Amino acid sequence: MRTSRPDPKVAEKHGITVKELNDIYYDMFAFIKEKIVALDLLNVSEEEFNKIKASFSIPNIGKLGTNYKRVKHFQEKLKKYGRNKVKENQADVHVNSDNC
pTM flag (> 0.75): no
pLDDT of residue 87: 58
Q: What digits encode the pLDDT tens for the residues 44-97?
A: 888 988 888 768 888 777 888 888 898 888 888 888 887 666 555 544 444 444
Domain boundaries, the chain: 1-39, 42-100
Q: What digits encode the pLDDT tens for the residues 32-47?
A: 888 887 887 767 888 9
User: What gap in Å lies between CA 94 and CA 41, rounded to an integer?
Assistant: 18
pLDDT of residue 37: 79
